[in-house]
Copies of this chain bind each other. A is one copy, B any other.
Amino acid sequence: MTRTSSTLRDFSRLSLNTRTVERWSVKEAVNGCARHEIPYIALWRDRVGEAGVAASAKLLRDAQLKVSSLCRGGFFPAPTDKERQARIDDNLRAVDEAAELGAEVLILVCGPAPDRDIDAGRQMVADGIAAVAPYAAERGVRLGVEPLHPMFAAERSVIVTLGEALQLGSSFEPAQVGVVVDAYHVWWDPDLYPQIARAGARIAGYHVDDWLVPLPDPLMGRGMMGDGVIELRKLRTAVELAGYSGPIEVEIFNRRVWDTPGDDVLELMKGRYLEFV
């Protein structure tokens, strides 16, 4: 990769993932996006649940805000058939919520294995996606498999590389099951750029953040773009060359960011977006 994209000049693709402003309700986040002229939002089911799905959908419509994604479905592996079915049922509810909210993608964080057998966990993920995909297609909701960083393999996702996510998606149409590229989760991968090129039309989302040095905390130490070591512009270039031109979500799990007033976070995020993404 030697070609580099020009800088982003406006905010037409920017999406606020509401985890970045953890303390805001859906209503506060919707209003924040309106105030700061951010056209997309990415919502989490727990917060949507607090506000109610129908009420959230109305807030979004009234604000003419687009929903880049709903987080999250997934967490398919479980020790028993009954528990696995319960996870699938929950994913079907998530599909309904995504449809009602008009979310472009339902993010799948695939879940850890129920015991030491990571390969069996991976098979449970494949089975879970196969069980959910037809209904998602029927409801017009695209599933987005998001590989997480390998340090989350034991606690959040047995799917840890883009290659693996693409393999999972390969039994389905790209419009039905895509992959989500999050800079924090994939930047380390020696096979990253070939896999992004391979992903092509299957890329269903692009998330930006940064990897801080030293790493303050695996889960809660994600950095604002520009504060870490990820080659964000090179990564965006690759994602765009592969064909993705959709929203770019800013998703930052970081206690210090969460302790900052939301409007200040949005101002900082917009500045860093133009400067580093």
Contact = CB atoms under 8 A, between A and B. Distances in A.
A89 interface: no
Contacts of A161: 190-191
Contacts of A153: 187-188
B218 A118 contact: no
Interface residues of A, number: 30
A120 B190 CA distance: 12
> What is the total number of copies of this protein in its complex?
2
Interface stretch (A66-74, A92-100, A208-216, A252-260): A208-216
B118 A215 contact: no
A213 B150 CA distance: 13
A140 to B, nearest CB: 31
A252 to B, nearest CB: 17
Chain B CB within 10 Å, residue with most, of A116, A122, A149, A211? A116
A122 B193 CA distance: 14
Interface in A183-229: 187-191, 211, 213-215, 218, 228-229
Contact of A160 (B115, B188, B213): B188
A195 B151 CA distance: 20
Contact of A190 (B117, B149, B160, B213): B160
A151 B154 contact: no
Contact of A116 (B113, B115, B230): B230
Given A150-B151, A151-B188, A151-B215, 16 more contacts: A113-B229, A116-B229, A117-B231, A118-B229, A118-B231, A122-B190, A149-B150, A150-B188, A153-B188, A154-B213, A160-B188, A160-B189, A161-B191, A163-B190, A163-B191, A218-B218
Interface of A: 113, 115-118, 122, 149-151, 153-155, 160-161, 163-164, 187-191, 211, 213-215, 218, 228-231
